[in-house]
Structure 1
């Protein structure tokens, strides 16, 4: 038995031929995006006018007591933001404003324990421990649900690479 993969445009459902150019569109932020960035496939013609539709925006963070210690991110048109500066033009204000330093990187990253249900099956470069493999085999549905919720690939026991990595029995 063979498998045939058909690629379609996520925007229009148009079947993409093997020699068609495919444009990858990564959605970083959207009101309906709940589990992090996603990737969509399109044809060049479907996205050729995307730059014309782009808005000049200002993305700001509001650090106040209403955020519970976390800043609120707000996106507004650049002209709306510019209108907030009534004493000095916004362009001049931005040139002379105090620079924000990026937060210092952590000295040592926290080590992730892939032998827990929370992290089992997530892609990583290290070797799979017996504990992680056991969790994946015994709780595959729950692991795949957590992986889907995190927006990463799910584990398919019939995939030879996954079968070998997590110790699934050979599929006939």
Structure 2
């Protein structure tokens, strides 16, 4: 007995032959996605249309008291965001220096708030909550507990 894998473009429904290039597209955020990222199969032509439709955007995190300890992520068109900068144009804002990664300011980290590894607080809390039922089941007699 054998298995046969057939790739189908999730965008067009086109069956892809073994010679066709399969492109993986991961949808990280979408208003209708409630369960997290989704991976889709596509053709190079499908991806070209995605590239053509791409927008110039600014993705910002707002850290304030309204977020109850969690930052809010907002996506605006770059022109809308640029219009807010009435004093200094965005292109003239200081760029991180070459040692920013060493100081912990790379990849979205904020100055003064070093990340020392592990998951950010929100995802970590959700991960712990998802593991609680598993830990509870594993506490039965004769079952090795997780993490210790």
Task: Please report the TM-score for the alignment, with normalisation by the length of structure 2.
Answer: 0.65
- In structure 2, the CA distance between the partners of 1:119 and 1:3, relative to structure 1 (3 Å rule), is farther
Name the residue aligned to 2:143.
131
Name the residue aligned to 2:116.
105
Q: Which is greater in Rg?
A: 1
Name the residue aligned to 1:18.
18
Q: Unpaired segments of 5 or more residues in structure 1? A: 121-129, 133-172
SS in 1 for 2:85: coil
Q: Distance in 2 between matches of 1:131 and 1:11?
A: 45
Task: Indicate the RMSD between aligned Cα atoms, in angstroms.
Answer: 3.1
SS in 2 for 1:49: helix
Q: Unpaired segments of 5 or more residues in structure 2? A: 97-104, 119-123, 137-141
- Offset of residue 117 of structure 1: 3.9
How do residues 1-172 of structure 1 correspond to structure 2 at under 5 angstroms?
3-92=3-92, 94-95=93-94, 100-101=110-111, 103-106=114-117, 117-118=133-134, 131=143
By relative contact order (CA 8 Å, sep 6+), the higher-ranking structure is 1
SS in 2 for 1:69: coil
- In structure 2, the CA distance between the partners of 1:9 and 1:31, relative to structure 1 (3 Å rule), is same
Q: Distance in 2 between matches of 1:14 and 1:69?
A: 45
Q: Distance in 2 between matches of 1:74 and 1:45?
A: 30
Task: Please report the TM-score for the alignment, with normalisation by the length of structure 1.
Answer: 0.56
State the Cα deviation string for residues 107-143 of structure 1 (Å, max 9, x = none).
Answer: 8xx9x8xx964379xxxxxxxxx737xxxxxxxxxxx
Q: Distance in 2 between matches of 1:20 and 1:106?
A: 39
Q: Distance in 1 between matches of 2:89 and 2:117?
A: 38
Aligned residues: 116
SS in 2 for 1:12: coil
Q: Distance in 2 between matches of 1:23 and 1:51?
A: 13
